[in-house]
C-alpha cells in the first residue's frame, strides 16, 4: 500500500526528478520480486531515463551503484546488502538492452579573447563541446561565451533546481580588481595569470554542471552549449537592482536560519550538515595554507634567481680558474632550480589551491541545499499550523451554528489540507533528492581529489628527477676544483 501510493505519486513528477524516480522504481520492482519485465515497461514510458542512466555510465559502471546506495538505508525492511548487489544487475541488463554504446559529453573552455575597449571591454571564451548524446543536433560544436553568460546560466539553474534539493555547482567568483586590470589592457604576467585562472575555473564549472545527470538534460544548459547568441544576462552585474535584491535576500536568509529550529526526524541530515560545515572550515584553512605555500615558493624563486646572479658575479671575479668554473656552474644549477621551483609553484597553485577553493564554494552550495530543505520543512509546518487554525475556525463556526460561513470554512479546510499534503510531499521529495545528491557529490569529490593528488605526485616526481640531474651534473665540476 505504501509502495502503491509512492508509485502513483511519482508518475506525476516532472523530468527533473527522474533520477530518483528511476531508482525508486527499480527498488519497487525488486520488492515485488519482479525482474526485467516490469522494469522495461516502466522505463519504456520514460524515454529520457536512458540518458540519465547512461551518462553516468560513461564514467564506469560502478557509478550507478552510487544513487542506489542510500536507498538501502531507507528501505529498512530489505536486506541492504542483498539489495545493493541485485540492483546492480537489472541496471546492467537494462543498459545492454537499451543502448549498446556509452554516451559522452566532453567540454573544453579555451581561447580567451578580449573584445571591445576600455572599461567596456570583456573577455570571451570559446566553449567547445564534443558529444554523442542524441539530445544535441550535431556532434561537435563550439560557441563563444562571456563571463556574465556563465553567471546567467547559474542563476537560471538555481531558480529551477534549487527547490528540488539539487546541488548546483557555483560558478567562479566575480573579481572587479582582476577584470579591471585586464580591461585596462596591462600586459603583465599577473593579468595573464588571472585570465588563465578564470578560464580553468570556467572549464571546471561547466564540467561539473554536465556531470550532474539532471542538469545535463536541462534545456538552459543545452541552449548555453549550443546557441550562437545568448541574450545578455543583465541581472548578474554587481551593481544592479537584482544584485541588491540578492544581497537583501541573503541577509534575510541568514536571519531566518538562526530562527528555524527544525524538528529533525532523520538524524542523517543533522549529522551530515555538521560534517559539511566542518569540512568547509577545514578546506578553507587548507586553502589558506596552500596559498601561503605558493606565495613562499614564488618568493623562493625570486631569491634563488638573485642568488644565482650573485654567484655568477662571484665566479667571474674568482682567480682560481677551476673554482671560478665551479661557481658559475653553481649559478646555472641554481637558475635551473629556480625554474623548477616556478613550475612546482604553478602546479601547486593550479592543482591544489583552485581545487580547494572550488570545493569550499561547492560545500557552501551543499549547505544551501540543506537550508532549502529546512525552508521546505518550515513551509510544511506553517501550512499545518494554518490548517489547524482553519479547523479551529470551522469548529467554532459549527458551534456558533452559522451555516453560510461554514461552507466557506469547509472549502478553506479542503484547500489547506491539500496544501499541507503538497508541502509534505515536497519536503519528502527534497529530502530524498538531497540525500542522493550528497552521496553523488561525495563520490565526485573523492574522485576529484584523488585525480588531483595523482597529478601532483606525478609533477613532483618529474621535478625531483630533474633536480637530481642538475646536481649530479654539478658534482664533477665541484670535484674538479684544485
Which of 264/458 has CB closer to another protein? 458
Q: How far is the CB of 262 from another protein (least distance, A)?
A: 21
Residue closer to another protein by CB (options 291, 428) is: 291
Q: In the complex with another protein, which residue's Cβ is closer, 248 or 454? A: 454
Judged by CB, which is closer to another protein: 242, or 292? 292
Q: Measured from the CB of residue 367, what is the shortest distance to another protein in angstroms?
A: 16
> Shortest gap between Cβ of 463 and another protein (angstroms)?
9
Q: Which residues lie closer than 8 Å to 418 by C-beta, 6 or more apart?
A: none
Question: What is the closest distance, in whole angstroms, from the C-beta atom of residue 85 to another protein in the complex?
Answer: 15
Q: CA-CA distance, 251 to 292, in Å (whole number)? A: 31
Phi, psi of 260 (to 5 degrees): -75, 120
Which helix (H) or strand (E) segment holds residue 406: the answer is: helix 403-479
390, 416 in Cβ contact below 8 A?
yes
Instruction: Please choose, from the candidates 130, 136, 28, the residue with its C-alpha nearest in 3D space to the C-alpha of residue 77.
Output: 28
Q: How far is the CB of 442 from another protein (least distance, A)?
A: 5
Closest CA to 166 of 381, 18, 382, 380: 18
| Closest C-alpha to 76, from 23, 31, 33 | 31
Q: Across the strands, what pairs with 107?
A: 129
- Min CB(441)–another protein separation in Å: 11
Q: How far is the CB of 344 from another protein (least distance, A)?
A: 10
Q: How far is CA 203 from CA 39, 128, 167, 181, in A?
A: 37, 10, 18, 22
CB atoms within 10 A of CB 32: 8
In the complex with another protein, the residue whose CB is nearer, 155 or 448, is 448
- Residue 221: closest CA among 163, 175, 168, 164: 168
What is the Cα–Cα distance from 142 to 178, expressed in whole angstroms?
A: 26
Q: How far is the CB of 326 from another protein (least distance, A)?
A: 6
> Given its phi and psi angles, is residue 63 left (phi above 0), alpha (psi -120 to 50 degrees) or beta?
alpha
Tell me how long the chain is.
482
Nearer Cβ to another protein (145/440): 440
Buried b (16+ CB within 10 A) or exposed e, 255-292: eeeeeeeeeeeeebbeebbeebeebbeebeeebeebbe
Query: What are the distances in angstroms from CA 440 to CA 123, 229, 288?
Result: 33, 33, 27
- Residue placing its CB nearer to another protein in the complex, 306 or 398: 306
Q: Is the CB of 197 or the CB of 272 nearer to another protein?
A: 272
Closest approach, Cβ 70 to another protein, in A, equals 9
- Residue matched to cell numbers 571591445: 116
Closer residue to another protein in complex, CB, 84/410: 84
Gyration radius from the chain CA atoms: 29
Query: Residue 343 or 442: which CB sits closer to another protein?
Result: 442
Q: Kindly list the residues in this chain that would bind another protein in the complex (CB under 8 A).
A: 69, 272, 275, 278-279, 282-283, 285-286, 289-290, 292-293, 296-297, 299-300, 303-304, 306-307, 309-311, 313-314, 317-320, 322-323, 326-327, 330, 439, 442-443, 446, 449-450, 453-454, 457-458, 460-461, 464-465, 467-468, 471-472, 474-475, 478-479, 481-482
Shortest Cβ distance from residue 197 to another protein (Å)?
A: 20
Comparing CB distances to another protein, the nearer of 157 and 337 is 337
Q: What is the 3-class SS of 229-259, one letter each residue? A: CCCCCHHHCCCCHHHHHHHHHHHHHHHHHHH
Task: Tell me the closest approach of the beta carbon of residue 434 to another protein, in angstroms.
Answer: 15
Amino acid at each position: 500500500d505504501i509502495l502503491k501510493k509512492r508509485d502513483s505519486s511519482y508518475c506525476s513528477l516532472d523530468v527533473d526528478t527522474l533520477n530518483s524516480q528511476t531508482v525508486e522504481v527499480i527498488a519497487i520492482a525488486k520488492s515485488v520480486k519482479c525482474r526485467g519485465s516490469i522494469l522495461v515497461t516502466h522505463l519504456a514510458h520514460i524515454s529520457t531515463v536512458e540518458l540519465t542512466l547512461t551518462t553516468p555510465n560513461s564514467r564506469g559502471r560502478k557509478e550507478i551503484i552510487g544513487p542506489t546506495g542510500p536507498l538501502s538505508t531507507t528501505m529498512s525492511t530489505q536486506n541492504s546488502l542483498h539489495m545493493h548487489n541485485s540492483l546492480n544487475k537489472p541496471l546492467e541488463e537494462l543498459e545492454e538492452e537499451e543502448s549498446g554504446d556509452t554516451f559522452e559529453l566532453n567540454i573544453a573552455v579555451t581561447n580567451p579573447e578580449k573584445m571591445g575597449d576600455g572599461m567596456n571591454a570583456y573577455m570571451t571564451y570559446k566553449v567547445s563541446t564534443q558529444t554523442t548524446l542524441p539530445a544535441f543536433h550535431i556532434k561537435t560544436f563550439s560557441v563563444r561565451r562571456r563571463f556574465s553568460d556563465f553567471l546567467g546560466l547559474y542563476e537560471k539553474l538555481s531558480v529551477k533546481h534549487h527547490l528540488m534539493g539539487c546541488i548546483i555547482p557555483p560558478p567562479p567568483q566575480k573579481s572587479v580588481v582582476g577584470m579591471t586590470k585586464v580591461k585596462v589592457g596591462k600586459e603583465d604576467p599577473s593579468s595573464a595569470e588571472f585570465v588563465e585562472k578564470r578560464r580553468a575555473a570556467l572549464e571546471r564549472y561547466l564540467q561539473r554542471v554536465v556531470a550532474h545527470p539532471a542538469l545535463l538534460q536541462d534545456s538552459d544548459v543545452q541552449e548555453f552549449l549550443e546557441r550562437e547568441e545568448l541574450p545578455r544576462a543583465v541581472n548578474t552585474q554587481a551593481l544592479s537592482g537584482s544584485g541588491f535584491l540578492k544581497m537583501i535576500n541573503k541577509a534575510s536568509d541568514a536571519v531566518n536560519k538562526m530562527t528555524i529550529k527544525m524538528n529533525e526526524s532523520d538524524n542523517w541530515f543533522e549529522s551530515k550538515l555538521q560534517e559539511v560545515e566542518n569540512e568547509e572550515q577545514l578546506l578553507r584553512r587548507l586553502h589558506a595554507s596552500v596559498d601561503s605555500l605558493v606565495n613562499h615558493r614564488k618568493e623562493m624563486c625570486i631569491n634563488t634567481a638573485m642568488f644565482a646572479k650573485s654567484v655568477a658575479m662571484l665566479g667571474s671575479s674568482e682567480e682560481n680558474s677551476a673554482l671560478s668554473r665551479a661557481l658559475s656552474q653553481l649559478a646555472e644549477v641554481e637558475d635551473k632550480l629556480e625554474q623548477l621551483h616556478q613550475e612546482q609553484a604553478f602546479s601547486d597553485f593550479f592543482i591544489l589551491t583552485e581545487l580547494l577553493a572550488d570545493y569550499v564554494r561547492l560545500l557552501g552550495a551543499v549547505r544551501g541545499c540543506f537550508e532549502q530543505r529546512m525552508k521546505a520543512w518550515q513551509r510544511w509546518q506553517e501550512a499545518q499550523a494554518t490548517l489547524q487554525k482553519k479547523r479551529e475556525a470551522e469548529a467554532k463556526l459549527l458551534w456558533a451554528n452559522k451555516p453560510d460561513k461554514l461552507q466557506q470554512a469547509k472549502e478553506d479546510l479542503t484547500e489547506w489540507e491539500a496544501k499541507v499534503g503538497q508541502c509534505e510531499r515536497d519536503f519528502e521529495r527534497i529530502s530524498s533528492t538531497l540525500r542522493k545528491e550528497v552521496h553523488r557529490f561525495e563520490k565526485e569529490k573523492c574522485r576529484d581529489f584523488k585525480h588531483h593528488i595523482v597529478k601532483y605526485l606525478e609533477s613532483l616526481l618529474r621535478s625531483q628527477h630533474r633536480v637530481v640531474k642538475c646536481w649530479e651534473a654539478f658534482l664533477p665540476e665541484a670535484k674538479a676544483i684544485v
